[in-house]
């Protein structure tokens, strides 16, 4: 199994692998190009679709944007991601349809070893992040490795989501906790 395959399969992998470094370099170069553009720039659509294959035409990411790879970020229809989003996407990141992602939101899939002797080595695992349809994440939300946020949730600005959030919830805080259910 390659280091890339290990990374995508939540196994311990070496992040200094040449193929992984090449993938990161490619993404960094595309993100740097995006940082000189606006949503109205003629080359924006081609660049974002090269970085994130399959991004729907109805969805947009407002530059600047940063990611490690881009090729396993999935974004649903009619989703808008605002300025300064960071997606450390060693693991899969899936964002549903009709989502609103505020400025400076961060999605972190890497998980470094707990044991300090293992942490010295260039290894980590990556745990996927899933955001359901019709979610709204306020500005500055951080989503940690392995978290699932159910559909129709609101995550208050500045929250740090370290655990799964069930559907139809309003969550806030550090760590984010469910404050109320949003069922009509």
End-to-end CA distance of the chain: 48
Element (H, E) at 5: helix 3-8
User: Can you tell me the distance from the alpha carbon of 54 to that of 115, in angstroms, rounded to the nearest whole number?
Assistant: 38
69 is catalytic: no
Catalytic residue among 78, 98, 106, 112: 112
Residue of 149, 158, 154, 157 lying closest to 183 (CA atoms): 154
Sign of the alpha-carbon torsion through 161, 24, 101, 169: negative
Whats the size of the chain, residue-wise?
184
By the 8 A CB rule, do 31 and 50 touch? no
CB neighbours (10 Å) of residue 70?
A: 24
Q: Which residues are catalytic?
A: 112
């Amino acid at each position: 199994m390659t280091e890339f395959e290990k990374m995508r399969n939540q196994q311990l992998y070496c992040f200094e692998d040449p193929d992984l470094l090449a993938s990161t370099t490619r993404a960094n170069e595309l993100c740097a190009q995006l940082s000189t553009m606006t949503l109205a720039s003629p080359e924006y659509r081609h660049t974002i679709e090269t970085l994130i294959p399959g991004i729907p035409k109805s969805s947009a990411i407002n530059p600047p944007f940063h990611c490690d790879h881009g090729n396993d970020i999935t974004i649903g229809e009619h989703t808008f991601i605002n300025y300064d989003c960071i997606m450390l996407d060693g693991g899969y990141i899936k964002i549903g349809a009709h989502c609103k992602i505020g400025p400076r939101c961060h999605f972190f899939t890497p998980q470094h070893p707990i044991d300090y002797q293992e942490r010295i080595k260039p290894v980590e695992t990556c745990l996927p992040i899933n955001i359901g349809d019709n979610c709204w994440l306020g500005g500055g939300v951080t989503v940690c490795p392995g978290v699932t946020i159910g559909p129709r949730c609101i995550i208050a600005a500045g929250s740090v989501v370290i655990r799964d959030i069930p559907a139809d919830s309003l969550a806030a805080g550090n760590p984010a906790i469910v404050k109320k259910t949003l069922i009509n």
